[in-house]
Chain A
Amino acid sequence: MNRFSRQTILPDFGEGGQEKLSRARVLVVGAGGLGSPVLLHLAAAGVGTLGIVDGDVISESNLNRQTLFGHQHTGKPKATTAAEILKQKYPDLNFEVFSDFLNTNNALEIISSFDVIVDGTDNFGTRYLVNDACVLLNKPLVMGAIYKYEGQLMIFNFGDVALNYRDIYPNPPGENQIPNCAETGVLGVLPGIIGTLQASEVLKILSGVGKVLSEKILFFNLKNTSFYEVAIQPNPRGRENLPKSEKDFKNRNYNINCGIAEGINWEKALDWTLNMNNSILLDIREPGEKPFFEKEYLSKKPMGEIRNNPESLSAYENILLFCASGQRSSQLAKELKQQFPEKKIFSVEGGILDPASPLNSNEYDT
């Protein structure tokens, strides 16, 4: 008996299936709510090499659904922490860590060395980026997505007819429909279900056991415990929007679809500032605006000055802006994003007045 005996005694899976898993290289994009069960199950099943891409750090509010992590991991980077946890459980497996968000510069190179790609990201920009890269490189893509109590599962570039996300949704949705720009609620078990289904499809792709859910989109509703399957076909209108070449892909901007600036809450903003390299938390209010703060973790640069000389921020990778209420910082974040599409630029939601702000003060003088 060994670690895998309960699956190798399955007649159709067998030692052959296990061999295939141990030789396989699977890339998991996003080590969050979906990525956690995906990684836990693929590692437990014995997938030989797991790539983990995530540029984020673990926050306390992640823990209801990101089941790989616990309280002791808050403030640590997700990708390296995930690899450490799994390596400790299964020392014979290999892990390749990419502690950065996927972008047009790194995506093709990272994705090209893996056999199957799993998308567990939390925003449309990265979903379209991963989709387009997988079409260019012809890599099977197992995509999961969630919204409140519902989930979606799709498998692309696999089977007789290679389909992709743009066959269902030719273009990213407009800026008013992007729940990620604000925080959306989710019951933690939902990504557990969808992520586990993603892991199951990956194991089927790798081992050849069963019938992979290709050419379909599957919806799951947690509230009524129901599934709904819809057949999909190639969509010429969507395919027109695919990048035509690697060069075309690299010249595209996948960040723009979030037209309103991306918001970040105070908890996360502080986590990033304190724990990630090249991060800056910037007070963009004008000189003289009260209250005044002197904190070692924050810097000051008025909005007008930044507009005149945005290059003064070029050394930073993660730029977190705040003002009194979050309005000016949101506007400035949008402008800076145009200037620096590859940087992570966020506006701290609610600003100083936010109840969760560490700077919130009763003496605030409007």
Chain B
Amino acid sequence: MKAFGMIAEKLPEQEFKFPKKKDTEELLNSLYNEYPDLKELDFSLAVNQQLIQQNTSLDGNEEIALLPPFSGG
């Protein structure tokens, strides 16, 4: 897992391993359980550097990125 911006601040590490989940929905639910602060934030999800728009199945070897929008300029 890789986290960016404000998301990384809610997690213990910017990069970390997470137990295998069957799909991205299950993955998000366990992340929310473990790190409830994440629920307040909007972010997009990428699997192997591809942005996903719907629930995507996982085999446990993927690199998942949690990508919040940035507003500063």
Contacts and interface: CB of A to CB of B under 8 A. Distances in A.
Contacts of A236: 53
Given A219-B67, A231-B51, A232-B51, A144 B40 contact: no
Chain B contact patch, size range: 20 to 34
A178 B71 contact: yes
Given A173-B42, A174-B42, A33 B73 contact: yes
Interface string A213-238: 00001010100000011111101110
Interface in A184-227: 184, 186, 191, 217, 219, 221
23 contacts: A122-B71, A122-B73, A123-B71, A145-B69, A147-B72, A152-B70, A168-B44, A173-B68, A176-B40, A177-B42, A179-B72, A180-B72, A186-B72, A191-B72, A191-B73, A217-B51, A219-B4, A229-B49, A230-B49, A230-B51, A230-B67, A231-B49, A231-B51
B28 interface: no
B2 interface: yes
Given A152-B70, A230-B50, 4 more contacts: A147-B71, A152-B69, A169-B69, A228-B49
Contacts of B41: 173, 177
Interface string B29-54: 00000000000111010100111010
B6 interface: yes
Given A150-B5, A176-B40, A233 B69 contact: no
Interface of B: 2, 4-6, 40-42, 44, 46, 49-51, 53, 65, 67-73
B51 A168 contact: yes
Interface residues of A, number: 45
Contacts of B68: 147, 173, 177
Contacts of A146: 70, 72-73
A221 B70 CA distance: 13
Contacts of A150: 4-5, 70
A119 to B, nearest CB: 8
Residue with the highest number of chain A CB atoms closer than 10 Å, among B2, B44, B67, B69: B69
